[in-house]
Structure 1
């Protein structure tokens, strides 16, 4: 399946939805239409019960996403008013990723910079190949990032490391990204595909209602207290305990076999 004139590719296989940012000639830099296309693909995956988790990755081996498409800046982000319009146009895709109910994994090769790092931080798990490069070069472009992205960064690495990343604008390797807590794991480049396949296979057989409830609760922990929907969190937890999957989980445990969860 193709979206955004082929710049966003989507496929479903073995319970896993995969979105590929497909602009390798620009190191998969995100255009406005790509944000919309990603949102359309996520809508498709959310509606499909066979999709248990989603992987985001970049085409080729040079970049996950190198950031926003700078070639559009003069036209779409030339000043504060233009930036507000750009934010409005891309808000739908950003919101759909931030609120997507199923697990999302970032499979990172090469450059993961600026807005591309923002996409990765909106995922639940980030696995990177050795040789990947990270950074937020805002200070070298004369721009600033919005509250939500900076909050994600601070939540992952803490204020000290966030200040270093934002103020220097420097690139740093995957090993440093793992050390400060920005990514979960670094693996050899030739092992990344297998590592992602192992992880998605695990998520695809785990209980969907449990994954949904726990993801929602983790997100709520990072929200302001006034924004937390505790009733919805409690309802998601109750749905787990009232589900046929919970009965199946208990039965499978007693029978010493793997459970077959159905998401209900």
Structure 2
């Protein structure tokens, strides 16, 4: 349910469980962690999903048995942040709950117009993963982070773009081709050059 394709240095990771809104099981989350941790040589890594939802976060039954509090979420986002290649979240639809952590950890976020962003931790009685609030605040500021984390607001794509939560809205069906276009310069550079520029931005 997690697939990986490699085209030279471009890694494309796809969450493929559309009948369950691409919600993640522990096994799927482990697979994502392993891929992210093994992608040190990737020039660019793209995360996307199948169907109309990027990911609804934790699978409901798995969440009830502890997945919502699993350290795997933090392990995944940390692995993505440490990559020297360009990381792009290519949102084919809504990103919700714990899945938002991997989106926030990416360098760039592009989305189709129907995308919504939300993280209902207040309503569900969970804390967000430790690194997620700081990454969210860095993108949108503290008040807007509270709108998402404390007021439970669902942020549509146009508003998310205006906030800086996503970087570009693309037509449905074009999200992967746009991600590939954004990755082109990194794909043409040496890994050392890309790593040096990323280190300067950090």
Normalised to the residue count of structure 1, the TM-score between the two structures is 0.70
* Pair 1:74 & 2:64 matched: yes
Q: Which of 171, 179, 187 lines up with 1:204 in the alignment?
A: 187
Alignment partner, residue 44 of structure 2: 53
CA positional deviation for 1:217: 3.6
CA deviation string 1:67-121 (max 9, x = no partner): 122211222259xxxx3xx22x554333322312211100001111121121111
Pairing 1:11-160 to 2, within 5 Å after superposition: 11-46=5-40, 49=41, 51-60=42-51, 62-76=52-66, 83=69, 86-87=70-71, 89-160=72-143
Cα distance change, pair 90–152 in 1 and its aligned pair in 2 (3 A): closer
Normalised to the residue count of structure 2, the TM-score between the two structures is 0.90
CA positional deviation for 1:29: 1.3
Larger radius of gyration: 1
CA positional deviation for 1:190: 3.4
CA positional deviation for 1:43: 3.6
Structure 1 unpaired stretches of 5+:
1-6, 220-264
Total equivalences in the alignment: 202
Q: Aligned with 1:189: secondary structure?
A: coil
User: Do the aligned residues in 2 keep the contact of 1:137 with 1:166 (CA within 8 Å)?
Assistant: yes
Pairing 1:157-172 to 2, within 5 Å after superposition: 157-172=140-155
User: Do the aligned residues in 2 keep the contact of 1:105 with 1:126 (CA within 8 Å)?
Assistant: yes
Q: Aligned with 1:147: secondary structure?
A: coil
CA deviation string 1:36-78 (max 9, x = no partner): 21122224432xx4x3111010122x11121122211222259
Cα distance change, pair 65–77 in 1 and its aligned pair in 2 (3 A): closer
Between 1 and 2, higher relative CO (CA 8 Å, sep ≥ 6) is seen in 2
Distance in structure 2 (CA, Å) of the matches to 1:159 and 1:91: 21
User: Do the aligned residues in 2 keep the contact of 1:20 with 1:57 (CA within 8 Å)?
Assistant: yes
CA positional deviation for 1:203: 2.1
- Which structure shows the higher helix fraction? 1
Alignment partner, residue 174 of structure 1: 157
Structure 2 unpaired stretches of 5+:
none
